[in-house]
Amino acid sequence: MKEKITNILIQELNYSDFVAEQTADDLINLDKQLQPLLEKWLTNREITDFEIQGFSINELMTQRNFTFPSALIAMDWLLTEPEIATKELSQKHRR
């Protein structure tokens, strides 16, 4: 599974090898609520929206230029550390 994700990130989204490996690890460990969204995307690149704490995948992708995998990881962060993630994602400028 990790190899499949890594290859997609590198070949289709132009992630570097290092970032693809790290991102694949994060995606494999997503909260169980987000796993079906990842599986659907891996199968046919279908993007399913998800909203939590006032943020949505579509919003992160369109307004913040996140890739779908990055938006999934942000959603996972909002689920696991809502206070910290909300504060960080609410800032206009990313670090």
92 pLDDT tier (thresholds 50, 70, 90)? low
* CA pair distance 74, 57, nearest whole angstrom: 8
Residue-wise pLDDT for 5-48, tens only, equals 999 999 999 999 999 999 999 999 999 999 999 999 999 999 99
Whether the pLDDT of residue 95 is over 50: the answer is no
27: Cβ contacts below 8 Å, ≥ 6 apart? 5, 38, 69, 72, 73
The pLDDT mean for the chain works out to 94
Q: How far is CA 57 from CA 14, 34, 65, in A?
A: 20, 11, 11
pLDDT level of residue 50 (50, 70, 90 thresholds): very high
